[in-house]
């Protein structure tokens, strides 16, 4: 997703970011390996250590989510992202969390969060935003995970990379089609018709893994279909105006769009 798509993408993804997956659902790393003759921790001790692990993940994830918002605020004022936390004076890490911005350009940035003062690889969280090639996006230290743009991924959070990319598809496809709604409206204002040629529209950019096809376009209406590479069995559709019945769009699972200019996706039933 290009740099400026993230301003709106954050609006779609942030609800999951700022109040998303429950920490209670996160998986804790093993507390102790059983060895012969070793004294095992009591249930109370194990519960305390388990809660501590969850709190570390929660703190790192929460700090990176707040960093996404802080960086977008910084970009709107300066048209560039902060290269380190000193450029974000109102942003403060949670005690115990260390955050390093590992990549920062005018159109992209990435950061890593760790907890405590461990000298070797340990539990970590990462986040990235903007036009960063997949090979250059940061990964967590233990599980080597990298989630979709603007979503913090953490060792021990209980989620898989494949699952997170698949669940992100609806947000990315919805964002692309909503941009298309606005672009077609502008085109119609000048030409009094709609178009099925994206090159004729004002430049609009979305995540490179989203494919959008304008399936119908007349003087009275248009329709489009979007798919996402990581969600091959799902799609989203949208239409506007007046169309003949054969031109009305439907998703991969044959879910019909029923509301003008409202994006409909598989899984909305």
**pLDDT per residue over 182-221, tens digit each?**
999 999 999 999 999 988 997 766 777 899 999 999 999 9
When mean pLDDT is compared across 6-15, 50-59, 225-234, the lowest value belongs to 6-15
**For residues 13-43, b (16+ Cβ closer than 10 Å) or e, as one string?**
bbebbeeebebeebeeeeeeeeeeeeeeeee
- Residue 117 confidence (pLDDT): 65
Residue ranges of the alpha helices (H) in 79-160? none
Task: Please give the pLDDT value at position 118.
Answer: 53
pLDDT, mean over the chain:
80
* Digit-coded pLDDT (tens) for 86-110: 999 999 999 999 999 999 999 999 9
Residue 267 scores a pLDDT above 90: no
Q: 60: closest CA among 169, 174, 141, 148?
A: 141
Determine whether 131 is exposed, middle or buried from the number of CB atoms within 10 Å of its CB (0-12, 13-18, 19+).
middle
pLDDT, position 146: 95
The answer to whether residue 41 scores a pLDDT higher than 70 is: no
Cβ–Cβ under 8 Å, residues 137 and 169:
no
User: What is the rounded CA–CA span in Å between residue 28 and residue 24?
Assistant: 10
- Between CA 69 and CA 128 the distance in angstroms is 12
What's the pLDDT score for residue 64? 96
Nearest to 262 by CA among 174, 167, 201: 174
Edge-to-edge, what's the strand order for the sheet holding 221-228?
210-217, 221-228, 231-241, 264-265
User: How confident is residue 166, by pLDDT bands cut at 50, 70 and 90?
Assistant: confident
How large a percentage of the chain has pLDDT more than 90? 61
pLDDT value of residue 37: 37
Q: Residue 251: name the closest of 144, 174, 155 by CA.
A: 174
Determine contact, residues 130/3, Cβ cutoff 8 Å: yes
Q: How far apart are the first and last CA of the chain?
A: 27
């Amino acid at each position: 997703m290009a740099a400026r798509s993230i301003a709106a993408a954050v609006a779609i993804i942030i609800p999951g970011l700022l109040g998303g997956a429950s920490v209670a659902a996160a998986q804790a790393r093993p507390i102790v390996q059983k060895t012969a003759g070793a004294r095992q921790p009591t249930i109370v001790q194990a519960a305390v250590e388990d809660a501590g692990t969850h709190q570390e993940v929660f703190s790192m994830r929460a700090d990176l989510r707040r960093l996404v918002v802080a960086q977008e605020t910084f970009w709107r004022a300066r048209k560039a992202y902060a290269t380190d936390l000193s450029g974000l004076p109102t942003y403060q890490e949670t005690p115990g969390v260390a955050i390093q911005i590992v990549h920062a350009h005018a159109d992209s940035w990435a950061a890593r969060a760790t907890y405590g003062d461990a000298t070797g690889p340990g539990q970590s969280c990462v986040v990235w935003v903007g036009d960063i090639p997949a090979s250059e996006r940061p990964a967590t230290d233990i599980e080597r995970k990298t989630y979709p743009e603007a979503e913090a991924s953490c060792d021990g959070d209980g989620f898989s990379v494949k699952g997170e990319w698949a669940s992100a598809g609806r947000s990315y496809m919805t964002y692309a089609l909503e941009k298309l709604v606005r672009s077609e409206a502008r085109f119609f204002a000048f030409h009094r018709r709609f178009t099925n040629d994206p090159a004729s529209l004002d430049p609009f950019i979305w995540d490179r893994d989203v494919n959008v096809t304008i399936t119908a376009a007349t003087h009275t209406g248009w329709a489009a279909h979007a798919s996402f590479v990581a969600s091959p069995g799902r799609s989203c559709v949208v239409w506007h105006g007046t169309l003949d019945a054969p031109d009305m769009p439907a998703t991969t699972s044959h879910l019909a769009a029923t509301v003008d200019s409202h994006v409909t996706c598989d899984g909305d039933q």
